[in-house]
Structure 1
Amino acid sequence: MAESNGTHIKALFDWVTEHGGSASKVQIEAVPGVGNGVVAKQALTAGEAYIHIPPELIITDKVCRSILPADSELEGRPLMCAFLVHERFVNKQSFWKPYIDVLPKEFHTPLFFSDDELQFLDGTPAGSSVGEMREKYMKEYEQALEAVEETVLPRSVFTFNTYLWAVTVCTSRSFTDDLVKDHEDARSARNAILLPLMDMVNHYPQSKVTWRHGTSGISLVTEVGLAAGSQALNNYGPKSNEELMLGYGFCIAGNPFDFFHVKLNYASDPLYMQKKQVLEATGLGELRHCITRAAMTTDLLPILRVLAMNEADMHYLGAAQREDLEDCGLRVELNARHLLLLLLGQQRCKFEAVEANLPNIDTENTRVARMYRKGVYEAIISTIDELVSSVRQLGALGSDLARAGKHALPKYIATGGASCDVVLQQGNTTDSSPNKRARTESPVEQFIDTAVITEESFVGDAAFAEAAEQVDVDEDTLLALFLIRALFDPASVWHAAVKRLEEFKHPMLVAEQSEQYADMLMELYEIHSALFPVLSETFADVFDAGQFSLDRFLWAAGVVSALDVRVAVDGEGEAVNGVCIV
Structure 2
Amino acid sequence: MAMDSAHSSKQKRFVNWLTENNARFPKLEFRDDVQGCGSVFCSKDIAEDEVFLFVPFTPLVLTETLARQHLPPLVQSLDGRTALILFLIQQTLLKDASFFQPYLDMIPDKIYTALEFDDQDMEQLRGTNAFLTVKQLRSNLEQKFKETMDIVGKELREEDGYTWEKFLWAETVVSSRTFPAHLFGGVEGEVVLIPLGDALNHKSRHKATWIKTPQGLEMSGCALQHGHQVFNNYGPKSNEELLVGYGFCIEDNLDDLVTLKTNFSQDPDQERKATILRYVGITEKTIHYLRYDSIPDQLLITMRVLAMNPAEVDRCIEVVEQSELVHNTSEQNEEAIALALKQELLFIGIRNEFAMLDLMDLLIGVKLQSILEWDGRLSAPKNQAQEFAQIYRRGQKQILEICSDICRGMFSTLLDESCSESLPTEQAVFIGALADGQPVNPNVPRRVHTQDTYTLEYYKAMALKESRTMSELKRDAVRQVLMTARSIMIEHKDDVFGEALSTAFPGHGWGEETWGGDHDEEEEDEEEAMTIQMEQDAILTCYLIFESQWPDRFQTFINVAKKYDYSSQLDEEMMEDVEDLRQSLQETLEEVDSSVFDFDSTFTPQAFVWSTGLLEALSLSFHINGELFTGVLAPPCC
Q: TM-score, length-normalised on structure 1? A: 0.84
Aligned: 1:452 with 2:472:
no
Distance change (3 Å), C-alpha of 1:48 and 1:481: same
Deviations 1:338-395 (A, max 9, x none): 1232233223233222333335551222222222222223333322222222122221
Aligned to 2:565: 505
What's the offset of the Cα at 1:209? 1.2
Aligned: 1:18 with 2:38:
no
Aligned to 1:434: none
Aligned to 1:482: 543
In structure 1, what is the Cα distance between the partners aligned to 2:160 and 2:36?
Answer: 34
Amino acid at match of 1:503: K
Contact 2:489 2:502 in 1 (8 A): no
Aligned: 1:472 with 2:471:
no
In structure 2, what is the Cα distance between the partners aligned to 1:574 and 1:67?
Answer: 64
In structure 2, what is the Cα distance between the partners aligned to 1:8 and 1:40?
Answer: 20
Amino acid at match of 1:258: D
Amino acid at match of 1:251: C
What's the offset of the Cα at 1:193? 1.1
Number of aligned residue pairs: 555
Deviations 1:489-533 (A, max 9, x none): 4663x3323322122122xx2276243442243223422453247
- 3-state DSSP of counterpart to 2:212: strand
Amino acid at match of 1:61: E
Aligned to 2:70: 67
- For 1:185-200, list aligned pairs within 5 A: 188-200=187-199
What's the offset of the Cα at 1:334? 1.6
| Counterpart pick for 1:522 among 560, 580, 589 | 580
Distance change (3 Å), C-alpha of 1:498 and 1:152: closer
Aligned to 1:227: 225
Deviations 1:176-213 (A, max 9, x none): 222332xxxx6x44422111111111112221111112
Aligned to 2:589: 531
Aligned to 1:330: 350
Contact 1:308 1:335 in 2 (8 A): yes
Deviations 1:430-470 (A, max 9, x none): xxxxxxxxx99887666555543234366566535555444
Contact 2:249 2:391 in 1 (8 A): yes
What's the offset of the Cα at 1:14? 3.1
In structure 1, what is the Cα distance between the partners aligned to 2:453 and 2:500?
Answer: 43
Aligned: 1:45 with 2:47:
yes
Distance change (3 Å), C-alpha of 1:413 and 1:447: farther
Distance change (3 Å), C-alpha of 1:459 and 1:403: farther
In structure 1, what is the Cα distance between the partners aligned to 2:272 and 2:68?
Answer: 53
Aligned to 1:138: 142
What's the offset of the Cα at 1:242? 1.3
Deviations 1:62-103 (A, max 9, x none): 432343347851551222222222322323133222211111
Distance change (3 Å), C-alpha of 1:554 and 1:139: closer
Contact 1:396 1:447 in 2 (8 A): no
Contact 1:90 1:153 in 2 (8 A): no
Amino acid at match of 2:487: E
Contact 1:392 1:444 in 2 (8 A): no
Aligned to 2:94: 90
- For 1:300-311, list aligned pairs within 5 A: 300-311=299-310
- For 1:214-363, list aligned pairs within 5 A: 214-222=213-221, 224-280=222-278, 282-293=280-291, 294-319=293-318, 320=320, 321-322=337-338, 323=341, 324-359=344-379, 362-363=382-383
| Counterpart pick for 2:37 among 32, 35, 41 | 35
- 3-state DSSP of counterpart to 1:169: helix
Deviations 1:393-438 (A, max 9, x none): 22122112478877522224376675248556558xxxxxxxxxxx
Range with bigger deviation, 516-525 or 413-422: 413-422
Aligned to 2:328: none
In structure 1, what is the Cα distance between the partners aligned to 2:390 and 2:34?
Answer: 19
Q: TM-score, length-normalised on structure 2? A: 0.77
What's the offset of the Cα at 1:53? 1.0
In structure 2, what is the Cα distance between the partners aligned to 1:149 and 1:452?
Answer: 67
Contact 2:282 2:298 in 1 (8 A): yes
Contact 2:273 2:313 in 1 (8 A): yes
Amino acid at match of 2:409: S
Aligned to 1:179: 183
What's the offset of the Cα at 1:160? 1.2
Amino acid at match of 1:523: L
- 3-state DSSP of counterpart to 1:38: strand
Aligned to 2:520: none
Contact 1:396 1:446 in 2 (8 A): no
Distance change (3 Å), C-alpha of 1:278 and 1:421: farther
In structure 2, what is the Cα distance between the partners aligned to 1:566 and 1:278?
Answer: 23
- 3-state DSSP of counterpart to 1:21: coil
Distance change (3 Å), C-alpha of 1:475 and 1:140: closer
- 3-state DSSP of counterpart to 1:299: helix
- 3-state DSSP of counterpart to 2:104: helix
What's the offset of the Cα at 1:576? 3.6
In structure 1, what is the Cα distance between the partners aligned to 2:177 and 2:6?
Answer: 15
| Counterpart pick for 1:413 among 430, 435, 438 | 435
Aligned: 1:495 with 2:555:
yes
Aligned to 1:431: none
What's the offset of the Cα at 1:153? 7.5
Distance change (3 Å), C-alpha of 1:523 and 1:146: closer
- 3-state DSSP of counterpart to 1:121: coil
- 3-state DSSP of counterpart to 1:37: strand
Amino acid at match of 2:435: I
Aligned to 1:113: 117
In structure 1, what is the Cα distance between the partners aligned to 2:184 and 2:382?
Answer: 42
Distance change (3 Å), C-alpha of 1:236 and 1:524: farther
What's the offset of the Cα at 1:329? 0.9
Distance change (3 Å), C-alpha of 1:101 and 1:405: closer
Aligned to 2:60: 57
In structure 1, what is the Cα distance between the partners aligned to 2:109 and 2:34?
Answer: 20
Range with bigger deviation, 93-102 or 152-161: 152-161
In structure 1, what is the Cα distance between the partners aligned to 2:126 and 2:373?
Answer: 10
In structure 1, what is the Cα distance between the partners aligned to 2:476 and 2:126?
Answer: 40
Aligned to 1:432: none
Contact 1:201 1:232 in 2 (8 A): yes
Range with bigger deviation, 463-472 or 208-217: 463-472
Contact 1:399 1:447 in 2 (8 A): no
- 3-state DSSP of counterpart to 2:573: coil
In structure 2, what is the Cα distance between the partners aligned to 1:153 and 1:23?
Answer: 39
Q: Which runs of 5+ in 1 are unaligned?
A: 428-438
Aligned: 1:205 with 2:266:
no
Q: Which runs of 5+ in 2 are unaligned?
A: 321-336, 455-465, 507-534
Range with bigger deviation, 104-113 or 3-12: 3-12
Aligned to 1:555: 610
RMSD (Å), alpha carbons: 3.5
| Counterpart pick for 2:160 among 156, 168, 172 | 156
In structure 2, what is the Cα distance between the partners aligned to 1:366 and 1:33?
Answer: 15
In structure 1, what is the Cα distance between the partners aligned to 2:590 and 2:365?
Answer: 43
